[in-house]
Structure formats: C-alpha cells, structure tokens
C-alpha cells in the first residue's frame, strides 16, 4: 500500500499532527472534520502565529462512494487540550491502494472500500 502523501489532495498536509474534530459515517460516505497541519509548500499555508508550531487549517477528509466500511478498535473518546478545546486525536497512518484505504489513529483502525480520500478546506 502507498502512503497518503502520494495522494494529490494530501501531498502538503501532515496528518500525524492534524486533529480529528468530528466523525460522520453515513451510507456511502465517511467524513472526518479536521484541523489540518499544512506544510510550507501548501498553497493555503500561512506562517503560524506565536503560540503555534504549525499552520492549522480547518477542513474535511472525505471518503465518498463508500461501499464497505470496517471500523475496529473503535474509540471516539475526546481529548481536551490546554485551551479547553476538544478533539478525537490524530491519524497515525493512512495508506491506500486502488479503491481501498487503511487508516490507524486515536479513533481506531478504519478500512474504507470506495473512492480515495479527498480534502476540502474550509
């Protein structure tokens, strides 16, 4: 399987330090509301403020045309950061091949059969 950074929508996004803000699974779709970390080469990158290590940008990681979703070790336990904001952790790994994606992270192991993930920035 190939690493997520080889997907056009994810080339200049660093998932390992991005945050999952919400998860919505409906028939045919999986949507992760995200606070993405954008790398310096991303067109929407702006220099981080004095209290941030990265350039953060809200958006969605969208899996569409999902015909099968396997979610094991499912965990949706919110974390609270120092500012009191809640999130569901990070994505540690996202790999893909053809129309199959495999994601590991704080929400568990998620296997998606359908379109490859796309990014929509807010």
Residue 51's pLDDT is what?
A: 82
What residues form DSSP beta bridges with 120?
60
Q: How would residue 3 be classed by pLDDT, with cut points 50, 70 and 90? A: very high
Residue 82's pLDDT is what?
A: 76
**Cβ burial, residue 82 (10 Å; 0-12/13-18/19+):** exposed
Residue-wise pLDDT tens digits, 22-68: 999 999 999 999 999 999 999 999 999 888 889 999 999 999 999 99
Residue 101 confidence (pLDDT) above 90: yes
Residue 83's pLDDT is what?
A: 80
Tokens of 100: 């199959």
Q: What is the DSSP letter of 46?
A: -
Longest dimension (CA), the chain: 44
pTM of the model: 0.91
How is the chain split into domains, by residue range? 2-121
């Amino acid at each position: 399987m190939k690493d997520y950074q080889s997907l056009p929508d994810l080339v200049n996004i660093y998932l390992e330090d991005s945050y999952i803000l919400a998860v919505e699974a409906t028939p045919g779709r999986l949507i992760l509301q995200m606070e993405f970390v954008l790398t310096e080469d991303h067109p929407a990158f702006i220099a981080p403020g004095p209290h941030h290590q990265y350039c953060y940008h809200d958006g969605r990681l969208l899996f569409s045309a999902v015909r099968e979703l396997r979610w094991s070790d499912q965990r949706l336990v919110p974390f609270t950061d120092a500012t009191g904001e809640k999130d569901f952790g990070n994505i540690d790994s996202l790999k893909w091949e053809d129309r199959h994606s495999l994601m590991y992270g704080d929400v568990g192991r998620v296997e998606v059969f359908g379109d490859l993930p796309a990014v929509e920035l807010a």
